[in-house]
Structure 1
Amino acid sequence: MKDLMLLVLGLAACAGASAAQEPLPDGATPPEIPAFVERLESLRKSADIPGLSVAVVRDRAIVLALGLGYADLERRIPATAETPYDIASVAKPLSAVVALRLAEQGTLDLDRPMAEYSDWAGFCNDFSQQPSIFARGLRCQPAVHTLRHLLSHTATATPGSRFSYNPVLYSWASRPIMAAADAPFSALVERHVFAPAGMKQSARKHRDLPLPEDLARRLAPPHRLGASGEIEPAPAPSPQGDGAAGGVVATVLDLARFDVALDQGLLLSAASREAMVAPGRSSRGEPLPYGLGWYVQEHRGHTLVWHSGWWEDAYSALYLKVPALDLSFIVLANSEGVWWDNPLDQAQVQRSEFAQAFLEAFVEGRPPPGVDLDTAP
């Protein structure tokens, strides 16, 4: 693994910016980075985000990692690359790694009928009668759901027929995984993700598993816009179970380490990595905008692989990869300001202003091999 390259910039114009420092091999600052950081700071302020942390990974090395603004506005604690956040649904790719790793080991079958797990039928029937938008269209009979349907968000309507983002069902996917592995889901994430990726500043949390004391002390508290339009502290998100949809606290540096480990093959085989980011197909053969734990879409000739995270009035996040260019961008925030209301049945990361900033700084003008950008859609 290449040494981490944490770049500190001339950020006099970016109030509250904080970063670690280690020179790039040639001693030069990539020309796109200073303007990119200035734009991120502008976006942070316009979105009323108290603090955020960002990282850029290029060619499996971290070329930028820093914080902007304040992790804790009340106590005036600056955000840094080592600030822990609740990453919300950005936990889904990590959960998918666990499922695929167990499948590689022969412990788990993603295509085994969920009805063979004793409590699926009862949960499905009960949940399908709830008023939640995520219960709408859930059909429990015939009992043909598989774990793959849950991990690819193709479980509503006729299973496999269409994509509809469903965090409730994705969260429930931890149940068959735990049953097959005979271990708590949080322990499986530690074993198959945190430890091999070197994520020492990350942890799972749920109602029966509190955060380690050090992480809890440094966790960026959530913020929201109050009735007066001023940023104010927000209540902590409600406790959840040991589900696959969220439940991870991490730093942006640790997620960058995950990114490097994933691309280096330290977590999954090449075949499993390809399966994660292969766009799904409906039962009618139509392409779908999700693989296993990742959104997948085409944009100006590039395949974009990404996931967002959103806790209302609390946290937001974006993790965006451009595989053909070996580029990744990660941003974590202590408010919902990174979120852009992506539709439940589509992948539209280009609507994110933070994604736009990254793509314009690092991707535009760099077509993937074999693609003429002038003729790309």
Structure 2
Amino acid sequence: MPASADTTWPSASAQSWRELIDKARDDGFNGVALVGHGGTIDGIAAIGIADAANGVPVTTRTRFEIGSMSKWVASVVVLKLVDQGMLDLDAPIGRYLPDYRADNGARLTLRRLMCHSSGLPNDVLKARQADPASRGVELPMPEAVRRYASGDLAFTPGTQWDYSQSNWILVQAIVERIGGMTYPALVDRLLVRPLGLKDSGIYSGDSAKTDGMAVGYAALTPSPQPKPNPIPGYMAMTGGFYTSAPDLLTLMNAVLSGDLLTARSRSELTTIQMPDQHYALGGRIRSAQVGGAMRELAWEDGSNGGFRMVARRVLADEHTVVTLNNASWDYQKLGDLADALLETTYVKSR
């Protein structure tokens, strides 16, 4: 990404990652930044306040919402079930939800839902815009599907791209029915416990009620302004995953370089489905000039309430950066910082 108009990051070839972090701190960054390679943390910094009301500082193990990167995590869970022979990305979803409307059930597949090319309208967003109070209302999954994921298709599946949160309500309903347990329980069984993640999981409602979580703020100065955006349980796949920077590095390493997924499923996760959007399954894959060469990266961004996050991982050589923020820091600046930090990981090898 190009540098934002009011922030010019020092040249990575002349500056260390720590100098970049110091500049970000001076510019108002509040959160955690990590650089690593493979599963190894090469540098990590915790800056600012996690909970202003209780005087809790950010630490390297502070937990943050990751917003839409939760869809990438959800894709990993789906692919684990694919690896176990329980799901097929290209089967009509009516196979898994026999009570779902038959016409859509015969036309939709998990692949189309997971790459936002299903044609399923974003009815959950429309409902929230019409009635903001509906944001925090919990619903049983069958009722959530009926209200928000059963609309007439806006286009033939696979022909267009439309970022619809309703896709993931339907994916979650399938996963919970076929997996035989709630989505939070599946995340715990398939990801958290096998990988030894210490600060990760699924929340519902206001994330600030979760132990160890940062509070999301619209701003911290001149006075703290909390900015919660509750996520009901039926939308856990859309934005309900929380994690720390070290845990996120562990997860990305296990998924993209380890044996958490089969080689076939890892390929599915990183294959672009919708080229105009660089969109794969639950996240983006982009090529960018990094470290003096064009490289292919897992390109993750997310936001919810006062939380902002950016994560990048070079697929070929495992250079990784994670930036987590809980004070609505400018998204462009956060992306610029992540890009500059990633550059520092190549300095010694030039």
The TM-score bracket by the shorter chain reads 0.7 to 0.9
Residue 169 of structure 1: CA displacement? 1.8
What letter matches 1:55 in structure 2?
A: L
Q: In the alignment, which of 69, 73, 85 is matched to residue 48 of structure 2?
A: 69
Distance 1:326 1:89 in 2: 22
Whether the aligned pair in 2 keeps the contact of 1:196 and 1:266 (CA below 8 Å) is no
Task: Kindly report structure 1 stretches of 4+ aligned residues shifted beyond 6 Å.
Answer: 31-34, 364-367
Q: Could you tell me which residue of structure 2 aligns to residue 352 of structure 1?
A: 335
Q: Distance in 2 between matches of 1:176 and 1:111?
A: 13
5 Å matches for 1:357-368?
357-363=340-346
- Residue 33 (structure 1) shift: 10
Is 1:184 the counterpart of 2:182 in the alignment? yes
Residue 58 of structure 1: how far off its partner (Å): 0.6
More helix by share: 2
Matches within 5 A, 1:321-336: 321-336=313-328
Alignment partner, residue 92 of structure 2: 113
Measured at CA, do residues 319 and 168 of structure 1 come closer, stay the same or move farther in structure 2, by a change above 3 Å? farther
Secondary structure in 1 matching 2:233: coil
Corresponding residue for residue 195 of structure 2 = 197
Asked whether 1:85 is paired with 2:64, we answer yes
Give the C-alpha shift of residue 147 in structure 1: 1.1
Would the alpha carbon gap of residues 338 and 198 (structure 1) be closer, same or farther in structure 2, given more than 3 Å must change? Answer: farther
SS of residue in 1 equivalent to 2:340: helix
Is 2:195 aligned against 1:218? no
- The DSSP-based 3-state class of the residue aligned with 1:266 is coil
How far has the Cα of 1:321 moved from its partner?
A: 0.8
1:84–1:161 distance in 2 versus 1, CA, 3 Å: same
TM-score (norm 1): 0.70
Note if contact 1:108-1:181 (Cα within 8 Å) is conserved in structure 2.
no
State the SS of the aligned residue for 1:245. Answer: helix
- Is 1:104 the equivalent of 2:83? yes
> What do residues 319-354 of structure 1 show as CA deviations (whole Å, max 9, x unaligned)?
2111122111111111222534xxxxxxxxx99212
Q: 2:16 aligns with which of 12, 35, 40?
A: 35
C-alpha contact 2:94 2:105 (8 A) present in aligned 1:
no
**Residue deviations 1:244-286 (CA, integer Å, cap 9, x gap):** 12212211111122123224423111221121111115xxxx6
TM-score (norm 2): 0.75
2: distance between equivalents of 1:236 and 1:165?
22
SS at match of 1:109: coil
Write out per-residue CA displacement over residues 195-248 of structure 1, whole angstroms, 9 at most, x where no aligned residue. 1111022121125xx97x9x834211111138xx73523143224124312212
- When residues 217 and 178 of structure 1 are mapped into structure 2, their CA distance, relative to the original with a 3 A threshold, is closer
List runs of 5+ in structure 2 lacking aligned partners: 1-11, 120-154
1:357, distance to aligned residue in structure 2 (A):
1.6
Does the 8 Å contact 2:204/2:230 carry over to 1? no
Identify the range of structure 1 (157-166 vs 293-302) with the bigger mean alpha-carbon deviation: 157-166
State the 1:67 CA deviation: 0.6
Q: How does 1:1-377 map to 2 (within 5 A)?
A: 35-46=16-27, 48-49=28-29, 51-116=30-95, 117-118=97-98, 120-121=100-101, 143-156=106-119, 157-207=155-205, 216-225=210-219, 230-242=222-234, 243-281=236-274, 288-300=277-289, 301-312=294-305, 314-337=306-329, 339-340=331-332, 352-363=335-346
Q: Is the 8 A contact 1:308 1:339 kept in 2?
A: no
Task: Give the match for residue 4 of structure 2.
Answer: none
- CA pair 218-288 structure 1, distance change in 2 beyond 3 A: closer
**Counterpart for residue 9 of structure 1:** none
- C-alpha distance 171-39 of structure 1, shift in aligned 2 (>3 A): farther
Ranked by relative contact order (alpha carbons within 8 Å, sequence separation 6 or more), the top structure is 2
CA shift in 2, pair 1:75/1:299, >3 Å: same
Aligned length: 298
Tell me the equivalent position of 2:123.
none
The answer on whether the counterparts of 2:38 and 2:320 sit within 8 Å (CA) in structure 1 is no
Alignment partners' CA distance in 2, 1:44 and 1:160: 44
Percent identical:
23
| Amino acid corresponding to residue 320 of structure 1 in structure 2 | R
Give distance in 1, aligned partners of 2:169 and 2:346.
Answer: 33
Partner SS state of residue 57, structure 1: strand
For residues 225 and 334 of structure 2, the distance between their equivalents in structure 1, rounded to whole angstroms, comes to 27
Instruction: Tell me how far 1:193 sits from its aligned partner.
Output: 0.9
> CA-to-partner distance for each residue in 1:113-150, whole Å, 9 max, x for gaps?
2344245439xxxxxxxxxxxxxxxxx86951111111
C-alpha deviation, 1:59, in angstroms: 3.3
Cα RMSD of the aligned pairs, angstroms, is 3.1
SS at match of 1:218: coil
Counterparts in 2 of 1:304 and 1:239: CA distance versus 1, 3 Å = closer
The 1:142–1:74 alpha-carbon spacing in structure 2 relative to 1, beyond 3 Å, is closer
